[in-house]
């Protein structure tokens, strides 16, 4: 039996209108990884924020290696060897990878001059340990989400830490990066470190963790050695009984009627000759590795990035007619992948965030005045439908849990209910039951005639929802496959290892 | 926690608690303003002349010009921009109007030209910021330079007198107070309603809060930014109309560069954030009154110009500090 490194005893924390934690006792051991699980808003991030010194708890106490400690700020926690990889990234986009890693504590020469050689060496070493190939001199703003996440993790690996907190680290990592992270964690465990691992992917828990602790509504719902708990039992502890939604093999087989077509989309160095058609009521999956051009295609269609060429047509008067980007912007919804950067208005209320794309439709008659009553009604309807955990629709979005923030964005577009909806990683950060619920909603929308472009890095989700797949590789569409294709083939194509001879232009 | 509507279907039951929370937030935000008002009240007690009706009326009249500029500035602050050119634009438009009237134009034409001139310069600012993607600070600073240059150049530093009937119209008295005061109050109400209750107002807050998210929400971001600067220019022009009438002439000194400090002070003291997305025209209007009172008191106490500048500068810094402090207390993670 390994030794206890960390003990959190009887932790309680309340925010206005909500008790986020109540009498939570949590223990971590040296050389072991413990999974911290729970539904969206269960209090996982809050508990870790207490441990990381980000917020102060109301009740309870913390012990590190038997010694009682008290953290007034994140620095205090760091001094005790606690490294925190946050759920939401906090990097400085205009600075380099290296600078970001060392920003809190630059290695110095003669007390004041930054020692860049030392920095570069340490940085390269850490990046190698993580097995990722980014240059220390690259700017953060040029990196994709996955790489950014690696930088964030790299930062935690610097210095003398003994407790590592990972708050949903893999939600935006590729398979390869995930495998590397698992290796790094294995190594940290062998070195006698204590790992706390938050995730919504239960399979990862079995790969990585030795123990588990489940929170539910801010209280401990159960826990123990992972080898003694089945996955079903974990799910029940987290959310009670749920049916995991699957579309089965039922697919949209009605005669296909094109409603939207993209031609000759080019953006130098990023996208090359993208052409495809979207049919009515279809769920079209964009599949590919991170950075293969899926997100970029979505953004180009919405006119968010400048492109070299693009032709968009929609179905009008019984044929496809070319339309302006303006038209597109008013008739297509986009759920972006980075909710905090280009999705939410953090200091605004839930209600305002949800109505923001729908303001034109909730005007009072013949005026530009917003119908507040209608706004509130709709917000309430959709927060209920999506089961968003809030104290009131006036709660600020920045105080919601990560998963609930994601649901707010979903709610925003359900409110608008556009004919075409592009969803980029719509279930990122959602718990199992929420994921199932979203899957059900996507299927229902498609049945009602909405055409959906789905981008997701989770192969199971793609396999269970999509009618058709476009496989992206290095900025091009290399394949157009129907439902029924095997998982192996999809994975192989995306990685560029499988034969793309089935290449068909949509 | 659930949020089922209660009987009247309007407010969820848990709102009781949140109402007190909101009250607390309001008090928190208004706190610095409250302190300033109390301090000013205290000081003004030391200056008996302060409460003389003529002085109070004077304060209202002076607030109206400062206030209108502050409202324009507030709209620009809301979208996360800034407009340093307001006072100089105000001077140039006033001069334009005066020149038109001098060469025989009617007062009505004078008013139209003055406001239009402001709008045109505002539109140039807006074009540079929204479509040419230039930095507001640089654009409007340069514009301020250009406008001060023009106003000195075309007038040879000599004020241009305006016709008496123009003054009579603009300063027309209703009851005890002249037209500008009513205009100020009306426009404060209208623009506050616009910001708080219309789609376009909501867009301003959205753009200032998160530009990228705004684009994704199908808000016509560039058009809105462009129009906001144009409107700011119009407010500057309108101020030009009122101030020219009050001074009886238009000249380059009207828009001297220390006016911009007063405009900024009025907005930030009124709770408008220079980081965008927070504040309201009403706040700025109250701020304008506070700053005018401050000027007035400093004046009555015979504080010299330069120490007065120092005092006002410090006030702005303190308020901006309050603002940033509030922001850094955001939750992250
Ligand atoms: N600053 C705050 N003000 C008000 N409520 C808050 C604040 N921070 C957290 N909460 C609330 O506390 C609860 C727990 O949130 P927390 O972020 O810990 O959830 P989580 O378990 O990490 O969920 P997720 O899986 O979605 O990330 C939520 O209901 C959230 O709205
Ligand atoms: Mg969380």
Q: Which residue has the tokens 């139209």?
A: B112
Query: With 70 as the cut, is the pLDDT of residue B333 above it?
Result: no
- Phi and psi at residue A455, to the nearest 5°: -115, 120
B3 contacts A392? CB cut-off 8 A: yes
pLDDT digits (tens, 9 = 90+) for A362-405: 998 888 999 999 999 999 999 998 889 899 999 999 999 888 99
Q: Where are the alpha helices (DSSP H) in A215-276?
A: 231-239
Distance CA A131, CA A174 (A): 12
Cα B296 from chain centroid (whole Å): 18
Q: What is the per-residue pLDDT for B50? A: 82
Does any domain span residue B1? Answer: no
Q: What is the per-residue pLDDT for A458? A: 84
pLDDT > 90: percent of chain A: 35
- Phi and psi at residue A405, to the nearest 5°: -65, -40
- Contact call for residues A209 and A224 (beta carbons, < 8 A): no
Q: Which of A12, A26, A46, A347 to mutate to test the pocket of ligand 1 (most atoms within 8 A of CB)?
A: A46
Residue A40 in contact with ligand 1 by CB distance below 6 A: yes
pTM attached to this predicted model? 0.84
Residue A18 in contact with ligand 1 by CB distance below 6 A: yes
Does any domain span residue B190? Answer: yes
Does any domain span residue B208? Answer: yes
Identify the segments of chain A with pLDDT beneath 50.
Answer: 500-506
Check residues B330 and A163 and name the one with the higher pLDDT.
Answer: A163
B198 contacts A380? CB cut-off 8 A: no
Q: What is the per-residue pLDDT for A244? A: 56
Q: What is the per-residue pLDDT for A292? A: 85
Distance CA A478, CA B97 (A): 65
Does any domain span residue B52? Answer: no
pLDDT band at residue B7 under the 50/70/90 scheme: very low
* CA distance, residue B129 to nearest chain A CA (Å): 18
pLDDT digits (tens, 9 = 90+) for A10-49: 999 998 888 899 999 999 999 999 999 998 889 999 999 9
- Contact call for residues B159 and B255 (beta carbons, < 8 A): no
Residues 5-24, chain A, touching B (beta carbon < 8 A): 16-18
Instruction: List all residues 6 or more positions away from A68 whose beta carbon is below 8 Å from its beta carbon.
Output: A61, A62
Instruction: Find the distance separating the first CA and the last CA of chain B, reported in whole Å.
Output: 21
Check residues B29 and A238 and name the one with the higher pLDDT.
Answer: A238
Residue A42 in contact with ligand 1 by CB distance below 6 A: yes
Residues 386-405, chain A, touching B (beta carbon < 8 A): 389-395, 398-399
Name the residue range of residue B138's domain: 59-318
ipTM, interface predicted TM-score of the complex: 0.83
Residue A467 contacts B where some CB pair is shorter than 8 Å: no
- Contact call for residues A68 and A268 (beta carbons, < 8 A): no
Q: B54 alpha carbon to ligand 2 midpoint, in Å?
A: 61
Q: Which of B8, B203, B211, B217 to mutate to test the interface with A (most CBs of A within 10 A)?
A: B217
Does any domain span residue B19? Answer: no
Q: What is the per-residue pLDDT for A506? A: 39
CATH of the domain at B296: 1.10.3470
pLDDT digits (tens, 9 = 90+) for B215-248: 999 899 999 999 999 999 999 999 999 999 999 9
Q: Which residue has the tokens 């199992």?
A: A432
Mean pLDDT, chain A, rounded, equals 86
Q: Which residue has the tokens 């074009």?
A: B127
Query: With 80 as the cut, is the pLDDT of residue B123 above it?
Result: yes
- Contact call for residues A392 and A18 (beta carbons, < 8 A): no
Does any domain span residue B311? Answer: yes
Q: Which of A40, A45, A85 to mutate to test the pocket of ligand 1 (most atoms within 8 A of CB)?
A: A45
Kindly give the number of the ligand 1 atom that is closest to the alpha carbon of A400: 31
Q: What is the per-residue pLDDT for B14? A: 44
The answer to which of A210-214, B4-8, B40-44, B198-202 has the lowest mean pLDDT is: B4-8
* CA distance, residue B181 to nearest chain A CA (Å): 27
Residue A295 contacts B where some CB pair is shorter than 8 Å: no
Q: Which residue has the tokens 């008090």?
A: B27
Residue A43 in contact with ligand 1 by CB distance below 6 A: yes
Q: How many folded domains does chain B comprise? A: 1
Q: Minimum-distance ligand to the CA of A40?
A: 1
Q: What is the per-residue pLDDT for A132? A: 75
Q: Minimum-distance ligand to the CA of A404?
A: 1
Q: Minimum-distance ligand to the CA of A48?
A: 1
Residue A239 in contact with ligand 1 by CB distance below 6 A: no
């Amino acid at each position: 039996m390994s030794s206890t490194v960390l003990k959190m005893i009887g932790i309680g924390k309340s925010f206005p209108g909500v008790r986020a934690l109540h009498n939570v006792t949590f223990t971590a051991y040296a050389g072991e990884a413990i999974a911290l699980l729970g539904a969206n808003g269960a209090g996982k991030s809050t508990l870790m924020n207490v441990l990381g010194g980000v917020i102060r708890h109301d009740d309870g106490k913390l012990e590190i290696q038997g010694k009682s400690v008290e953290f007034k700020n994140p620095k205090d926690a760091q001094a005790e060897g606690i490294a925190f990889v946050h759920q939401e990234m906090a990097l400085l986009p205009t600075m380099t990878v290296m600078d970001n890693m060392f920003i809190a504590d630059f290695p110095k020469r003669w007390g004041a001059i930054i020692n860049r050689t030392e920095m570069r060496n340490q940085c390269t070493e850490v990046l190698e340990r993580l097995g990722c190939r980014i240059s220390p001199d690259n700017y953060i703003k040029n990196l994709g989400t996955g790489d950014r996440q690696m930088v964030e993790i790299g930062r935690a690996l610097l210095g003398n830490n003994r407790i590592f907190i990972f708050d949903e680290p893999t939600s935006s990592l590729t398979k390869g990066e995930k495998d590397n992270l698992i290796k790094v964690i294995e190594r940290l465990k062998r070195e006698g470190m204590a790992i706390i691992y938050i995730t919504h992917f239960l399979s990862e828990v079995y790969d990585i963790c030795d123990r588990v602790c489940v929170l539910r509504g801010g209280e401990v719902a159960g826990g123990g050695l992972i080898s003694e708990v089945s996955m079903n039992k974990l799910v029940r502890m987290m959310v009670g009984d749920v049916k995991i939604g699957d579309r089965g093999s039922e697919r949209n087989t009605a005669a296909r009627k094109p409603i939207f077509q993209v031609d000759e989309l080019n953006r130098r160095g990023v996208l090359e000759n993208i052409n495809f058609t979207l049919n009515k009521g279809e769920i079209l999956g964009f599949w590919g590795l991170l950075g293969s051009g899926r997100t970029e295609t979505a953004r180009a269609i919405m006119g968010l990035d400048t492109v070299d060429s693009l032709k968009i047509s929609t179905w009008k008067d019984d044929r496809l007619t070319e339309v302006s980007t303006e038209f597109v912007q008013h008739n297509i919804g986009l759920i972006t992948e980075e909710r905090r950067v280009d999705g939410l208005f953090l200091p605004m209320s839930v209600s305002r965030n949800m109505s923001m794309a729908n303001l034109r439709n909730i005007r009072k008659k013949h005026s530009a005045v917003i119908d507040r009553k209608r706004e509130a009604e709709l917000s309430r309807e959709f927060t209920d439908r999506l089961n968003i955990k809030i104290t009131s629709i006036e709660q600020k979005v920045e105080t919601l849990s990560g998963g609930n923030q994601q649901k707010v964005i979903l709610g925003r577009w359900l409110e608008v209910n556009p004919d075409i909806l592009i969803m980029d990683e719509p279930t990122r950060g959602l718990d199992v039951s929420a994921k199932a619920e979203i899957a059900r909603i996507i299927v229902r929308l498609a049945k009602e005639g909405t055409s959906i472009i789905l981008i997701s890095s989770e192969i199971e989700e793609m396999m269970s929802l999509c009618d058709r797949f476009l496989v992206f590789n290095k900025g091009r569409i290399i394949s157009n496959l129907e439902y029924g294709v095997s998982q192996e083939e999809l994975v192989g194509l995306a990685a560029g290892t499988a034969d793309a001879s089935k290449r068909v232009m949509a | 926690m659930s949020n089922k509507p209660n009987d009247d279907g309007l407010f969820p039951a848990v709102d009781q608690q949140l109402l007190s929370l909101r009250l607390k937030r309001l008090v928190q935000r208004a706190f610095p303003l409250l302190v300033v008002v109390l301090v000013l009240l205290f000081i003004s007690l030391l200056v008996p002349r302060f409460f003389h009706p003529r002085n109070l009326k004077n304060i209202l009249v002076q607030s109206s010009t400062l206030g209108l500029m502050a409202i324009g500035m507030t709209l620009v602050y809301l979208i996360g921009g800034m407009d340093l050119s307001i006072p100089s634009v105000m001077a140039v438009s006033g001069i334009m109007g005066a020149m038109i009237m001098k060469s025989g134009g009617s007062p009505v034409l004078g008013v139209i030209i003055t406001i239009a001139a402001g709008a045109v310069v505002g539109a140039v600012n807006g074009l540079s910021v929204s479509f040419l993607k230039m930095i507001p600070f640089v654009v409007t600073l340069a514009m301020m330079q250009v406008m001060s240059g023009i106003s000195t150049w075309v007038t040879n530093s000599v004020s241009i007198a305006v016709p008496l009937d123009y003054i009579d119209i603009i300063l027309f008295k209703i009851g005890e107070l002249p037209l500008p005061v009513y205009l100020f109050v009306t426009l404060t109400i209208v623009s506050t309603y616009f910001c708080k209750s219309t789609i376009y107002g909501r867009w301003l807050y959205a753009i200032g809060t998160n530009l990228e998210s705004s684009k994704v929400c199908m808000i016509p971001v560039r058009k809105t930014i462009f129009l906001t600067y144009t409107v700011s220019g119009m407010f500057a022009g309108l101020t030009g109309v009122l101030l020219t009438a009050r001074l009886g002439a238009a000249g380059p000194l009207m828009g001297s560069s220390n006016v911009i400090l007063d405009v900024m002070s009025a907005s930030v003291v009124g709770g408008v954030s220079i980081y965008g997305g927070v504040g309201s025209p009403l706040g700025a209007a109250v701020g304008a009154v506070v700053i005018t009172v401050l000027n007035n008191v400093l004046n009555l106490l015979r504080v010299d110009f330069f120490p007065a500048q120092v005092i006002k500068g410090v006030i702005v810094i303190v308020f901006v500090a309050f603002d940033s402090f509030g922001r850094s207390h955001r939750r992250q993670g």
